[in-house]
Chain A
């Protein structure tokens, strides 16, 4: 473990401030956009000039270089700073379920409602005339 940390720190130092492995750097940057800066008004650490955001970025890069998984890294920050720090709220509690499910639930229910209203009307009795849009536009424009 210690060797790994040392290697990670060295990796960070060697490349200046970016991880040398592009895939790891991409993962770190993805996490930086998810973790909220704890000193700023409403910014992820990827977009904050404050010192603590810089430290948090470095922390993320180190943990990525150590090979920790995304959820381990998120959990580490939540342990320190609480749920507040996650811009991607967790879906493991009723509040989270509600937040994540509501848009799709509304879409599904409203969509189903529209379809059912349409189908309950008996259209077979009359014929509905198909009016091409260009014909209509040609008349009015």
Chain B
């Protein structure tokens, strides 16, 4: 498959009180079309900054971000960012939110498209509801649907499910996989949850702490639906956690049991 995203030696720093703070240092990576790449790293390591660089919200100090072989310097609707806090407009109904990104088409047709995607994410019957009338999980669905409506080539997801409880987070992961099976998108997922990364992605990049470099890359060779309790999945999890500096045997009783089997 052809390369969708090509990142060449990008560097980014910010001015702070204590002088210059290097956040990203010489990161290069490439993502194939339709690939699901998860990026994990310690908290505060610059994962979000990296994602913002890729989506075009901030410019690198050095290096280039190429999408389809052309440099990307500002965000557009070919790549939609889904952030942790969410950005569903509270003053618009679900349908109006979903129609938001559809500029310049006939309004009637737009409503049909919006309702179609509301249905896909399981929000049928809530098209006229306002966001404050929805639960946290439903808000995430609305956010996802609003992104899918504009048929983005790339989804940038910044810890999209971390604000949800564990059960809802798991349910949303399955929903995402179900939707991606229907509409193939290139996905970049930033997360601190190694299990989530193994559940969802084709490849996992492990970042170092600041200044961020890519420390390791793991392929996730399992087919869907995945069983996270399988021995191979657990081995992968332990290997990734080790890269993140967590000694699995000492800190995780469940992990050490599966390892000893």
A binds B: no
